[in-house]
Amino acid sequence: MMTLRTCTRAGGIASAALALTVAVSTAGNAAAVQPMDETGGGGSGRALQAVLDEAVREGAPGALAQSLTPHRILNLSSGVADLTTRRPPRAYMKFRVGSITKIFVATVILQLVAERRLRLSDTVDQVIPGVVEGNGYQGDKITVRMLLDHTSGIADYTDNPRVEEIAVTDPRHDFTLRELAEAGLELPPYFPPGTSWHYSDTNYVLLGMIIQRVTRRTYVREINRRIIRPLHLRSTYFPGTDPRIRGPHLHGYTPVADDPAELRDTTEVNTTFARATGDMISTVGDLDRFDSALLGGRLLPGRLLRAMLRPVPGSQPYPGSDMFRYGLGAVIATPPCGVKVYGNGGTLDGWETWTGSTRGGRHSMSFVFTTDAVNQVRLTEQAVTAEYCSARAHAAP
């Protein structure tokens, strides 16, 4: 899976760590549609609304999306924001974005390349010496580019049961980037550097370490300084060890292992196990503004934006789907109508997310489903196709 899916990669790190969560039955829960305000003209959103409704029918307590063009903001929702109050989802509500975090990390890395403080051809031995070594790893042959596009061959730390054991026994444990990297490097490499493609969260842990080595500031501070504050993404932040989501927010749910008919509320969790790979909190509106700015050329020079959006041959970030390819921290979607959409998607216990935009940043769409139990691949295909391939989407400037 291309996104940080702890429920399948590490045996349920997030949900297992929540020893005191309450299981909530979904029996008889109607998929009530809660449409939101539409401002401006162009596009009814009916096709995208149908996908949100389908996610709720499949078991998501709630689904929320925002579509953004120069002429209108369209907010759509289905289901409920949480199963206790049953209030409707609203666009201002925050949620955990999962691996959408990676495109923010990749943007900072490429900004450092633009500033000539780093090169894509630099090896990990050159920038973080002594970190990637032993167990068959070749730190002198793994480049920054290979970390960005998942061709390094480095194993995914979420496959190491030791990470889950720590999260379960000590839910307050503050995982460090070095600790997570070492957990990945304890496993043998998938393949020699640059010879194949395999998604690995360890790559982005190492990129977080590289940001700190080059700038002398953490990846969190650099993303805040370079992206969040300049773009006024006021609802986007990194929670650190705080398990709560500040302010109005959606709740995430994951099925109870021994009874899939019940859902466990996984909203509150210490996500330091996902540092630099999936630990960010945001809203659909902030994600749309970010992706629109990125694709509009406001964050990267043209040559590096083109490099970010160039698909890696053989990459398949959504298993079983040929609609998606991977670039340098970006997912490239090509729905049946042929339009190209660039962004990223995320999965965390209780959450499935997506953000994407067309070239130039003129048409963006972000969504969240409040469970990891629905079919992310199929629903993401359907949502992207609904948003960008309907007749009205083609008619929009």
> pLDDT of 284-301, one tens digit each?
999 999 999 999 999 999
Query: How far is the C-alpha of 377 from the C-alpha of 170, rounded, in Å?
Result: 33
pLDDT of 43 reads: 60
* Res. 17 pLDDT band, cuts 50 70 90: very low
- Average pLDDT of 225-239? 98
Which backbone phi and psi does 187 adopt, to 5 degrees? -90, 150
Query: How far is the C-alpha of 386 from the C-alpha of 256, rounded, in Å?
Result: 31
Model pTM score? 0.90
Per-residue pLDDT reduced to its tens digit, 313-331: 999 999 999 999 999 999 9
Query: How far is the C-alpha of 324 from the C-alpha of 333, rounded, in Å?
Result: 5
Residue 221 clears pLDDT 90, i.e. is over it? yes
Residue 244 clears pLDDT 60, i.e. is over it? yes
Considering only the C-alpha atoms of the chain, give the largest distance between any 2 of them, rounded to a whole number of Å: 59
Query: How far is the C-alpha of 14 from the C-alpha of 360, rounded, in Å?
Result: 36
Residue 129 clears pLDDT 50, i.e. is over it? yes
Query: How far is the C-alpha of 67 from the C-alpha of 306, rounded, in Å?
Result: 24
pLDDT of 257 reads: 81
Per-residue pLDDT reduced to its tens digit, 174-187: 999 999 999 999 99
Measured at the alpha carbon of residue 128, what is the angle toward residues 126 and 132, in degrees to the nearest 5? 95
- Average pLDDT of 6-16? 37
225: DSSP letter = I
pLDDT of 142 reads: 98
Report yes or no: 222 and 108 within 8 Å, Cβ to Cβ.
yes
pLDDT of 261 reads: 76
- Is the sign of the CA dihedral 155, 159, 160, 166 positive or negative? positive
Among 329, 324, 340, residue whose Cα is nearest residue 377: 324
Kindly state the tokens that stand for 172. 């307050």
Contact residues for 18 (Cβ-Cβ < 8 A; gap 6+): 171, 264, 266, 268, 269
Report yes or no: 344 and 323 within 8 Å, Cβ to Cβ.
no
Identify the structural domains of the chain with CATH numbers, from first to last. Answer: 6-21+30-395 (3.40.710.10)
Kindly state the tokens that stand for 46. 């009916």
The percent of the chain in helix, strand and coil, each rounded to the nearest 5, is 35, 20, 45
* Res. 390 pLDDT band, cuts 50 70 90: confident
